Structure 1
Amino acid sequence: MHGIKRTRLTQEDIQAKKQREQTKITEYLALTEQVLSRKKHKDWSEDALGLTSKLLQVNPEFYTVWNYRRNILLQGLFPRGTPEQNNQLLVVELTMTMGALKSHPKVYWIWNHRRWCLENIPNGPGEAQEDGADGWKKSAWDKDLFVVEQMLDVDSRNFHAWNYRRYILSNMPKPRPEKTELTYTKQKILSNFSNFSAWHQRSKVLSSLWASGKLGESKSKENEFKLIRDAMYTDPHDQSVWMYHRWLVGNDISQEVLEREIETIQELLAEQPDSKWCLESLVHYKRMQLKNHKEKVDTQVLTGECQRFLAHLGELDPMRSRRYEKIASQLNTI
């Protein structure tokens, strides 16, 4: 790297480095053989659990070992323990996976093991509470929501963490108000308009609120259009912003909405004449007009505009020129 002084290794240093690497490989292979042997012989002991911990620290993507670890708990340790002891075992599992996620935040198998832990928390104190929530379970799910928020504070675009967050929210013993999630996603979006996962989460929550009637569509949609317009003008080259805009328009394809949004994008295009996303979106929405409101528009003018935009796109993005040519050839068949 620039600015870093390179140190020339001696032949002895190179040999010592190779030896250390070979030793690590030999130790890893020996540990793997030992763990798989125990699995083959259905060893469900605490000692076997400890060996899986060592192996997974080296290779957290070894899904066979995660499966073996769960079997050790299910077949060996849980049957011998009290509900309190089994709950504590799962607390230890969650702590172990949290440590693993700090180094490997995008390994699917670690997230999957956390899901399994939450789903296997035993019944415990709290069953008599008015809300019916089980004490251990409620505590664990609440803590995990906090954990995933910490993960997203570190990397707000980690889609594994966002998927896990959706899983927690949909399975919590005591559901969290969906409007609270709207506030959370907006915070993430305002801190980084390029956060596709936050936009996606927001679309899921809004769809649910609109379908249930818990949120008025008309006013909330206008607020969303204002939010997305601010994002479009802030970063007109960001794909996630335009994808959300298309989703939002797709929920209300009235001629009035299409005309208004087309006018907004054309104003932005005047400032950013080579904006690929402005051009693509104008073609997309004008084609929607041709398809859904043919009797209200001048088809010849719209078709001509789309052809000009597509020709410009072909110049800006020659790698996809054939795609734009194909779209242009289909305009008269809409």
Structure 2
Amino acid sequence: MHGVKRTRVSPEAAEAKRIKEQSKIQAYVALQDDVLASKRAKEYTVEALGKTNQLLDLNPEFYTIWNYRRNILTRGLFPESTPEEIVGLLTGELRMTMAYLRVHPKVYWIWTHRMWCLENVPLGPGESKGWRNEFWKTEFMIVEKLLDADARNFHAWSYRRYVVESLPASFSPARSPADELKYTSKKIESNFSNFSAWHYRTKLLGKSWAEITPEEVADEKDQEFELVTQALWTDPGDQSGWLYHRWLIGHNPSPQVLARELESIQELHKEEPDSKWCMNALAHYHLLSARLASASETDVTKHRAEAKTILERLEVIDEDRKERYRELASHY
């Protein structure tokens, strides 16, 4: 690596390092073989659970071991436990996965195991103050902290969506789609490049717009265009806002809205003539305008010509993708 001073390693030190690494590999393979042998023998004991701990500490992506761990719990430990003891076991599982997530926040199997734990909490005493409600309450606070630590962690956002959709009816305060929209707005306004927050927003709005009138959707979409336009003008080089803008346009676009947004982006292009994302959007929306049923033959020719000119310019601006632009331009 440039700028890093190289340190000469003696043959003796290199050999010692090799032997140490080989020893670690041999120990890992021996442990893996031992755990898999226990799995084949259907050993569902506390000792077997401890072995899976050791193996997952070394390799948390070993999904087979996560599956085995769940079998140990459901087939071996849970049947012999009281509800209170099951709660204790699941609390331990959640504590363990949280420790793993601090080091490996993007490993799917850790998130999956956490979901499984929540879904297997016993009902507990009472409907409103049962264990499940307390577990989900804690989980909601944890996912808040995870996103405060890393607001762009896609896995944490997906997990938040899962948690919100799974909250028991007795959860307080209740989380409505409007509450979640406000939350995404806060995250987006603090950082317009937060793609995960924009993505979550599409999921929320997609559901809510299916339940209201077209007129109400149009009003809400205008507000969304105002929000995303702020992002585009703030940082036209960031892809997140452009993807969200394209999603808005693609959600039952009207010729009037398309024409308005095309004009708005043309104004931005004058200020940022070399923005590849701006030009990508212009080319796409010109071609979309050419496909509108209401477009006249003259308009179709004009929009296609504009798109071709932009694509040819992109071949120069974005050379790594010039063949893609060349292929698109060859059709017009």
Under a length normalisation based on structure 1, what TM-score does the superposition of the two structures give? 0.90
Give the equivalent residue in structure 1 for 2:29: 29
What secondary structure does 2:210 align onto? helix
C-alpha offsets along residues 130-188 of structure 1, whole Å, 9 cap, x if unaligned? Answer: xxxx6211221222222222222222222222222211111111352111111111122
Structure 1 segments unaligned to the other structure (5+ residues): none
Alpha-carbon distance, 1:7 to partner: 4.5
Instruction: Name the CA distance, whole Å, in 2 between partners of 1:6 and 1:287.
Output: 54
Amino acid at match of 2:313: H
Letter of the structure 2 residue corresponding to residue 13 of structure 1 = A
Contact residue 289 and residue 297 of structure 1 kept, 8 A? no
* Match in the other structure for 1:181: 180
Shift of 1:297: 6.7
Which residue matches 1:206? 205
Label 1:297 to 1:181 Cα distance change in 2 as closer, same or farther (>3 A): farther
- Where structure 2 has 5 or more consecutive residues not aligned to the other structure, the ranges are none
In structure 1, the partner of 2:149 is: 154
Please report how far the alpha carbon of residue 51 of structure 1 lies from its aligned counterpart in structure 2 after TM superposition.
1.1
**% identity of equivalent residues:** 51
Equivalent position of 2:161 in the other structure:
166
User: How many Å apart are 1:320 and its aligned residue?
Assistant: 3.2
Distance 1:104 1:9 in 2: 31
Give the direction of change, closer, same or farther, for the CA distance of 1:319–1:12 in structure 2 (3 Å limit).
closer
2:312 paired residue number: 311
Q: Return the offset for 1:216.
A: 4.0
Give the count of matched residue pairs.
326
| More displaced 10-residue stretch of structure 1: 311-320 or 220-229 | 311-320
Alignment of 1:87-236 (within 5 A): 87-127=87-127, 129=128, 135-174=130-169, 176-213=175-212, 216-236=216-236
Mapped partners of 2:304, 2:185: distance in 1: 37
Q: Residues 33-52 of structure 1 correspond to what in structure 2 (within 5 A)?
A: 33-52=33-52
Q: Could you tell me how far 1:289 is from its partner in structure 2? A: 1.6
1:288 equivalent to 2:288? Answer yes
Whole-angstrom CA distance in 1 between matches of 2:305 and 2:206:
35
* Coordinate RMSD, CA, aligned: 2.2
Residue of structure 2 in register with 1:321 after alignment: 322
Whether contact under 8 Å (1:237, 1:276) holds in the other structure is: yes
Describe the shift of the 1:297–1:240 C-alpha distance in structure 2 as closer, same or farther (beyond 3 A).
farther
Q: TM-score, normalised by structure 2?
A: 0.91
CA contact (8 A) 2:291 2:300 kept: no
Relative to structure 2, which stretch is displaced further, 46-55 or 212-221?
A: 212-221
